[in-house]
Amino acid sequence: MTDPIATAADWRRHDPDPVTRAELGALIDSARAGDPDAFAELASRFTGPLEFGTAGLRGQVGAGQSRMNTAVVIRATAGLAAYLRDRVGPDARVVLGCDARNGSAQFFDAAAEVLSGTGLTVLALPKRLPTPVTAFAVRATGADAGVMITASHNPAADNGYKVYLGGRATDADGCGAQIVGPTDAQIAALIAAAPPADEVPRSATGIVDLGAELLDAYLDRVAGYRRDPGPSPVRVVLTAMHGVGGAPALEALRRARVPDVRVVAEQFEPDPEFPTVGFPNPEEPGALDRALTLAARVGADLVIALDPDADRCSAAVPDADGRWRQLSGDQIGALLGEQAAADSSRTGDALACSVVSSTLLAKIAAAHGLASAVTLTGFKWIARTPGLRFGYEEAIGYCTDPEAVRDKDGIGAMLRLVTLVEGLGGRGLRPTDLLDELARAHGLHATAAVSLRFDDTAEIAATMARLRAAAVPELAGAAVVDREDLTQPGSGLPATDALIYRTDAGDRVIVRPSGTEPKLKCYLEVVLGCRDGTVPHAAAADRLALLEAEVRALLERR
């Protein structure tokens, strides 16, 4: 068994960052003095390299092999640079962006110098910008790759490293999209072969400052989603959730002639500690409380909440009785999917969503004579759909303009929602009315998600193994007529760790481990018909509650 003290001491000798070097030094001294907590902490920081996968890197900021720090970023970038030199050549160009999280600016500088040190050209965006600006810049500049330093909506302690391929490094469908296998494994192997961090060459000679031009081009593109030359009557409340989306979103609305915007001031400026929310995720209970209070006070028409890197967007709207209602990711996906399907000016003939998203989108596509596709979770898969016009995943991610941004884009989705609310308002309707229209046409598709967090990640694999071995004859009083294991061939999707249960009542339950957090996630869908034009909201809610209770009991059973 590897001695964590010796491993940490060796890592420390090669750590170029004096802050993390000192952090490790203090832990090593305490562990050598017999402190069991320090020893356990070192062991947790040297369980192996922070895994590089299709989400790139993501983890807690701190010293050590299994944390996000400058040394890890240097070696990851050295591996990426080696991959690009092998695949494209020494003239490869890489777009680089970062958000405002702890460590982001420092990791940005390290990555830029490593890429430049290997002879590649770095197209450096201004710091503290949204992730979709980086994705846009990859396609707009014809770059061969893009790197975004962000942990998206993860807790404040985390940071990450996301990789896109473009230009000569991938095919047309993958241009500007996040990496998928086997690219991730190939880069990971090159990272493992990289020298220690202090031996990786670094230089600033190949860094080109992109300035504000790319941001301007992006803002003009998304502002152009609203075509009406006059001012919009929609009153918007906007919260940036302490992230980097606030100022760009406000400017996009201004350019789109949406003048009546009220911001949640205490959540507007970037703050890596996210002081007003437990988790900086618009889906978390309570995250929109300040925005909803402001919306009720000013009589808003729409609440928009961006996550910290502004690639995801949540929304709330008033019901007919004036009560505010936060829309689910699937509801927003249905609204934006219907909008996209009905807009013949958009390119592409396919609507796509992840396997854990609602089955309603496929019915919307068919009603408009369009193709539909179901992919694995993650926009790295959704964005590769041939002929994509619109794609979404239930975790409030929406790609509404794949020609420009081949990824989820919260600011772009915001503009689409503003135009949707404006268009419906002109007909005397609300978004909830359109949802009811879709239910009458295709059945009410009610969805919910259940998450179980685990302290020991080994329990996640054990729970999935137990489910595979167990018979589940019924759920919520309905017979289970099909159980599909996505690790096995035949689903039409790449193998992934997930189980799908379908009942004779039209229910669907999907269970899978989270790709970014120590959670087991379950996705529930109930489909009910509408008799005499009445949408059965109460019946669907009751059945979802019953299904959720049984699924929780199933997962917690030992």
Count of domains for the chain: 4
Q: Looking at the structure, do residues 284 and 433 belong to the same domain, yes or no?
A: yes
Question: What residues make up the domain containing 291?
Answer: 235-440
Find the CATH number of the domain harbouring 251. 3.40.120.10
Q: How far apart are the first and last CA of the chain?
A: 31
Q: Looking at the structure, do residues 356 and 450 belong to the same domain, yes or no?
A: no
- pLDDT at position 516 is 66
Residue 144 pLDDT grade (very low, low, confident, very high; cuts 50, 70, 90): very high
Average pLDDT, the chain: 95
- Whether 1 shows a pLDDT value over 60: the answer reads no
Q: Using one digit for the tens of pLDDT, what is the confidence trace for 328-371? A: 999 999 999 999 999 999 999 999 999 999 999 999 999 999 99
Strand partners of residue 162: 148
Inside any domain, residue 266: yes
Q: Looking at the structure, do residues 264 and 394 belong to the same domain, yes or no?
A: yes
Q: Looking at the structure, do residues 175 and 275 belong to the same domain, yes or no?
A: no
Mean pLDDT of 194-214: 96
Residue 215 pLDDT grade (very low, low, confident, very high; cuts 50, 70, 90): very high
- pLDDT at position 554 is 85
The domain boundary residue, chosen from 419, 440, 461: 440
- pLDDT at position 558 is 58
The domain boundary residue, chosen from 440, 466, 488: 440
Q: Which residues of 455-494 are buried (b: 16+ CB within 10 A; e: fewer)?
A: eeeeebeebbeebeeeeeeebbebebeeeebbeeeebeee
Q: Looking at the structure, do residues 189 and 83 belong to the same domain, yes or no?
A: yes
Q: Using one digit for the tens of pLDDT, what is the confidence trace for 247-300? A: 999 999 999 999 999 999 999 999 999 999 988 999 999 999 999 999 999 999
For 499, phi then psi, to 5°, come to -125, 140
Inside any domain, residue 173: yes
The 10 Å Cβ neighbour count of residue 536 is 18
Q: Which of 174, 161, 207 is nearest to 59 (CA)?
A: 161
**Percent of the chain surpassing pLDDT 90:** 87
**Amino acid code (one letter) for 500:** I
- 532 vs 314, higher pLDDT: 314
For the chain, the maximum distance between any two Cα atoms, rounded to a whole number of angstroms, is: 76
Q: Looking at the structure, do residues 254 and 330 belong to the same domain, yes or no?
A: yes
Residue 453 pLDDT grade (very low, low, confident, very high; cuts 50, 70, 90): confident
Find the CATH number of the domain harbouring 450. 3.30.310.50
- Strands 371-375 and 519-528 come out as unpaired
The domain boundary residue, chosen from 405, 440, 475: 440
Q: Looking at the structure, do residues 452 and 427 belong to the same domain, yes or no?
A: no
Q: What is the pTM of this model?
A: 0.95
Inside any domain, residue 226: no
Distance CA 209, CA 212 (A): 9
Q: Using one digit for the tens of pLDDT, what is the confidence trace for 73-109? A: 999 999 999 999 999 999 999 999 999 999 999 999 9
Q: Looking at the structure, do residues 388 and 313 belong to the same domain, yes or no?
A: yes
Are the CB atoms for 111 and 96 separated by under 8 Å?
yes
Q: Looking at the structure, do residues 421 and 312 belong to the same domain, yes or no?
A: yes
316 Cα distance to chain centroid: 19
Q: Looking at the structure, do residues 146 and 60 belong to the same domain, yes or no?
A: yes
Are the CB atoms for 520 and 454 separated by under 8 Å?
yes
Q: Looking at the structure, do residues 347 and 403 belong to the same domain, yes or no?
A: yes
- pLDDT at position 364 is 98
Q: Which of 314, 149, 128 is nearest to 215 (CA)?
A: 128
Enzyme catalytic residues: 152
Q: Using one digit for the tens of pLDDT, what is the confidence trace for 42-84? A: 999 998 889 887 778 999 999 999 999 999 999 999 999 999 9
DSSP state of 534: B
Mean pLDDT of 185-203: 97
For 285, phi then psi, to 5°, come to -55, 130
